[in-house]
Amino acid sequence: MRKRFEAAVTEIVPSGDRLRDTRGPTQASPRTGYGVARRWRWWVTAAAASVLAAAIAWAGFLRFKPTVALPGLTPIPVEAHPIAEFSKIEIAETAASPLVFRGGLVLESGAPHFGGISGLRMTDRGHGFAAVTDAGYWVQGRLLYDRGRPSGVADVVMASVLGPEGKPLRENGKGDIESLELTAEAAYLGFEGHRNGIAVFQPTSDLLRRHGRLLPVPPDIVALPKGRGLEALAAIPAGHDFGGALLAIAERDRTGRDMAPAWILKEGTALELKVRLTDGYDISDAVFLPEGDLLLLERRLSLLGGFKMRLRRIPATDIRPGAVSDGSPVLEANRLFHEIDNMEGIAAHRDENGITVVTAVSDDNFLPVQRKLLLQWELK
């Protein structure tokens, strides 16, 4: 159904000068595998960590987000530990999956603001990245490779996402940023709270200091309940009937039914559709592949098994007003057997060889029992 909506537009102004990061790249440190004699210890540790993380999430405790703001654009030291295999205990991956694991990183930092990553986009053919956190910060840096595998990160900087009058967006109740889309013309952020919405930043050059404005969104988005807000923003590619529009997807239907509400947003018009949810999974993020289809990142949490993740591919033709969009899983994993955590952000790009690469990041909830992961797959 087509709806017209109007809303006030608020400017978001930039803040202080960029600080120069004089440090060199942070290379990955080596990581050893699991020995047979130590495997039982891993099982006990993994099970305990999964149960503890799940118990904390189910109990509804607040995340340990930093309370002191960063002073403008700030360089962040980050150490990266490589992940060579996706499966922890040598489980053979299904040959039917079109995704081949390239490698991953465990990211660690003494900076308390580095965490809670909830949205990701790759730049410079995968050598750069832009991300957002659910504490209201931008994260930007470079991704290093060794023979095509992620090996480290460099030049990581963070800055507050700014709200009206140059104040951090989180001070206006809009700091819980859950989604990011980055195009050649603009960056879009989806936030949730007592009023859900979308902020746009134009142009994308010098993005961490760029001012923007709040987009008008339909009342149904504004009224989404806390914890079921906009988890995904994806720009519909050229060649699609709605090319250039923004696809916005909520985490789950507010009634708890197995449908996630979604909207095609363009020029003040909202066209409604649904995304089918199955097997207890919720929407975490989405991105359009260079081939044109939509790739959904989904998450599930259980008290005993901990976190699970699934990647589901939805044909581009299913993205249309009034449709119930579905798709086929291309990857499914759980924390006990695979190197995953609370996977929240997904991105896709083509590298220098024309290969489509999918990158996912995790939100550690600022908890010591969780990890900040960056994982990459090659799409066959």
Would you state the structure tokens that stand for residue 182, as one six-digit string?
């980055």
Sheet with 176-182, edge to edge strand ranges:
11-12, 212-214, 197-201, 187-192, 176-182
At residue 316, the 3 state secondary structure works out as helix
Say if domain 2-379 classifies as CATH 3.15.30: no
Q: Which residues pair with 122 in a beta bridge?
A: 129
| CB contact set of 366 (below 8 Å; sequence gap of 6+) | 63, 64, 65, 66, 112, 115, 116, 135
Write down the residue that tokens 């930043």 correspond to: 201
Is the distance from CB of 213 to CB of 12 less than 8 angstroms? Answer: yes
Position 169 scores a pLDDT of 84
CA 140 to chain centre: 13
Burial of 219 (0-12, 13-18, 19+ CB in 10 A): exposed
Position 216 scores a pLDDT of 92
Is the distance from CB of 251 to CB of 227 less than 8 angstroms? Answer: yes
Burial of 52 (0-12, 13-18, 19+ CB in 10 A): middle
Q: Which residues pair with 212 in a beta bridge?
A: 12, 201
At residue 338, the 3 state secondary structure works out as strand
Position 361 scores a pLDDT of 98
| CB contact set of 150 (below 8 Å; sequence gap of 6+) | 28, 80, 82, 102, 103, 104, 105, 143, 144, 374, 376
**343 pLDDT above the threshold of 90:** yes
Q: How many CB atoms lie within 10 A of CB 371?
A: 20
Position 88 scores a pLDDT of 85
Compute the distance between CA of residue 315 and CA of residue 327 in angstroms, rounded to an integer.
Answer: 7
Helix then strand then coil, % of the chain, to nearest 5: 10, 45, 45
Compute the distance between CA of residue 60 and CA of residue 117 in angstroms, rounded to an integer.
Answer: 19
Compute the distance between CA of residue 52 and CA of residue 327 in angstroms, rounded to an integer.
Answer: 32
**56 pLDDT above the threshold of 80:** no
For residue 29, what pLDDT band results from cuts at 50, 70 and 90?
Answer: very low
Taking alpha carbons only, the member of 227, 263, 225 closest to residue 247 is 263
Position 5 scores a pLDDT of 55
Indicate the pTM of the whole model.
0.85
Taking alpha carbons only, the member of 307, 251, 234 closest to residue 134 is 251
Of how many residues is the chain composed? Answer: 380
Would you state the structure tokens that stand for residue 276, as one six-digit string?
């089918």
Would you state the structure tokens that stand for residue 340, as one six-digit string?
């995953």
Taking alpha carbons only, the member of 120, 105, 126, 82 closest to residue 357 is 126
Taking alpha carbons only, the member of 98, 97, 115 closest to residue 106 is 115
Compute the distance between CA of residue 197 and CA of residue 217 in angstroms, rounded to an integer.
Answer: 7
Is the distance from CB of 327 to CB of 313 less than 8 angstroms? Answer: yes
Report the percent of the chain where pLDDT is more than 70.
Answer: 81
In this predicted model, what pLDDT tens digit does every residue of 68-96 receive, in sequence order? 889 889 999 999 999 999 998 765 555 57
Q: How many CB atoms lie within 10 A of CB 74?
A: 18
Q: Which of 133-142, 188-197, 368-377 has the lowest mean pLDDT?
A: 188-197
Domains of the chain, by residue range, sit at 2-379
Compute the distance between CA of residue 130 and CA of residue 280 in angstroms, rounded to an integer.
Answer: 30
Q: Which of 39-43, 141-145, 329-333 has the lowest mean pLDDT?
A: 39-43
Is the distance from CB of 283 to CB of 296 less than 8 angstroms? Answer: yes
Compute the distance between CA of residue 159 and CA of residue 9 in angstroms, rounded to an integer.
Answer: 23
Average pLDDT over residues 274-300: 96
**191 pLDDT above the threshold of 60:** yes
**360 pLDDT above the threshold of 60:** yes
Report the percent of the chain where pLDDT is more than 90.
Answer: 64
At residue 89, the 3 state secondary structure works out as coil
Give the H/E segment covering residue 221: helix 219-222
